[in-house]
Amino acid sequence: MTDTTAPAPRPLRVAVIGCGQMGRNHLRCYARLPGAVIVGGVDPLAANRDAAAAAFGIPVFAQVDDLPAVDAVSIVTPSVTHVALAEELIGKGIHCLIEKPLALTAAEGRRIAALGKARGVTLAVGHLERFNPAVVALKAHLPALGPIHAVTARRLAKAGRITDVDVIDDLMVHDIDVVLDLLGRPAPTAAKVEGLRGADVPGFDYATALVGFPGGILAAISASRMTPVRIRTLEVLGAEAVAVADYIAQTLVIRRPGEAGSVAETPVAIERREPLLDELADFLDAIRSGRAPRVTPEQAVDTIALAERLKAARDL
């Protein structure tokens, strides 16, 4: 009798470019994913190489050219290096997940997207909050809110690990991406921003943006690297109800008018998950299936374009 069972697909050979804190998170998650085998990492800093090699038992090289054969990589390096690394790796036919922002300008992002399409590789962008279970649940509950009037996002924290870009490119882009996705990616009709400058950083360390969209929808997005406590919330105001998501706690509450002027709150049941694990699983599945990843480079360019518009409106 002939065995007609299809052979299991070859595991995808993956590597991580940039083995700092976030890069090591990518390595940790790849190690948990079936169908992936880590062949190495790359980092110019000896301390990062040593830490990744010790934690994951993999070879970690100083240069990309030293990597063995690889199918896919995560690019988890400073934002200013994304374009050059992406062009080099895409040029070799390697699938890439590029941490946000895809590039520092929309023009650079379009160039990367076009190169990926020309080479036929899968390109995904690390806008992690799209995989946050609270955001996934909120998107599913949008129709129950009625027509959307406004969205308010707050992402506030102390100074973080990224210092080569201001808070709009560092933190606010997360919520710009989420807001655009929730609203169906409409073109903004107006955008302005105010903020506070920190020490020794380009641009703002605290910023609040007001963005108008067709139909009179307003988004208020605040991001901070100078707040003593971490706050990451997302609120969507509809004509019939308000949804409040907490990114950190991964919770969602729907608030509706109750009896005698009260407010009726309904918590939504959500299974806690690790967004990065789901993001990398989506990337690998997109490679295998040939479908688009959840966060495409074209969507990332939309986010960069709005961030550019806000930065152009700064009064520094």
- Tell whether 72 is covered by a domain: yes
Of the pLDDT bands very low, low, confident and very high (cuts 50, 70, 90), residue 158 is confident
d(CA 74, CA 97): 5
Boundary of a domain, candidates 111, 126, 141: 126
116 and 167 co-located in one domain: no
90 and 112 co-located in one domain: yes
Percent of the chain with pLDDT over 90: 88
Boundary of a domain, candidates 126, 157, 177: 126
Q: Answer for the pair 201, 224: CB distance below 8 angstroms, yes or no.
A: no
Judged by average pLDDT, the poorest of 120-124, 131-135, 165-169 is 165-169
113 and 150 co-located in one domain: no
Boundary of a domain, candidates 99, 126, 153: 126
User: What confidence score (pLDDT) does residue 10 get?
Assistant: 84
140 and 96 co-located in one domain: no
Determine if the pTM surpasses 0.95. Answer: no
For residue 176, give both structure tokens.
């710009």
207 and 187 co-located in one domain: yes
29 and 84 co-located in one domain: yes
Please report which helix (H) or strand (E) contains residue 192, including its range.
strand 190-196
Of the pLDDT bands very low, low, confident and very high (cuts 50, 70, 90), residue 8 is low
- Tell whether 1 is covered by a domain: no
Here the CATH number for the domain that contains residue 137 is 3.30.360.10
138 and 271 co-located in one domain: yes
- Tell whether 293 is covered by a domain: no
- Tell whether 249 is covered by a domain: yes
Convert the pLDDT of each residue in 196-242 to its tens digit: 987 666 789 999 999 999 999 999 999 999 999 999 999 999 999 99
Helices (H), 97-186: 106-119, 133-141, 167, 173-182
Strand ordering across the sheet containing 148-156:
190-196, 206-213, 217-224, 148-156, 231-238, 242-246, 251-257, 263-267
- Tell whether 298 is covered by a domain: no
- Tell whether 168 is covered by a domain: yes
117 and 139 co-located in one domain: no
Nearest in space to 198 (alpha carbons), one of 236, 159, 233: 159
Nearest in space to 315 (alpha carbons), one of 223, 227, 204: 204
d(CA 21, CA 28): 11
Average pLDDT over residues 75-93: 96
308 and 160 co-located in one domain: yes
- Tell whether 47 is covered by a domain: yes
257 and 140 co-located in one domain: yes
Query: Based on the structure, what is the number of domains in the chain?
Result: 2
Residue 190 structural domain = 130-276+304-312
- What SS3 state is found at 99? strand
Strand ordering across the sheet containing 36-42:
60-61, 36-42, 12-17, 72-75, 95-99, 123-126
Convert the pLDDT of each residue in 44-74 to its tens digit: 999 999 999 999 999 999 999 999 999 999 9
192 and 95 co-located in one domain: no
- Tell whether 221 is covered by a domain: yes
Convert the pLDDT of each residue in 250-286 to its tens digit: 999 999 998 888 999 999 999 999 999 999 999 999 9
d(CA 189, CA 213): 5
Judged by average pLDDT, the poorest of 157-166, 173-182, 204-213, 302-311 is 157-166
Q: How many CA atoms lie within 13 A of 1 on its CB side?
A: 3
118 and 32 co-located in one domain: yes
Here the CATH number for the domain that contains residue 114 is 3.40.50.720
